[in-house]
Amino acid sequence: MKKFVETVGFIVFVQGAAGLLYEWTGWFRLWGLVARFGFLDDYGIFVSIALVVTGAAVMIAADSIRT
């Protein structure tokens, strides 16, 4: 279970980082899910930052799971 939670946290973190890279440089459109949703157009940077923070928090919280 610990590895699954760490993997989910890493995927969320990568999606946030890809969203930030897309907003700043225009790259990684295919990797980032934030750029694909039309209703998030005006909030792309904020959603990407929230994904980075959430992914990091999930990865840190995975350490408290006992095996």
* Better-predicted residue by pLDDT, 10 or 42: 10
What's CA 42's distance to the chain center, in Å?
Answer: 17
Mean residue pLDDT of the chain comes to: 88
Q: Where are the domains of the chain?
A: 2-64
* Better-predicted residue by pLDDT, 28 or 15: 15
For the stretch 36-39, contacts whose Cβ atoms lie closer than 8 Å and that sit 24 or more positions apart, written own/partner, are none
* pLDDT at site 33: 82
Which residue has 């760490």 as its token pair? 6
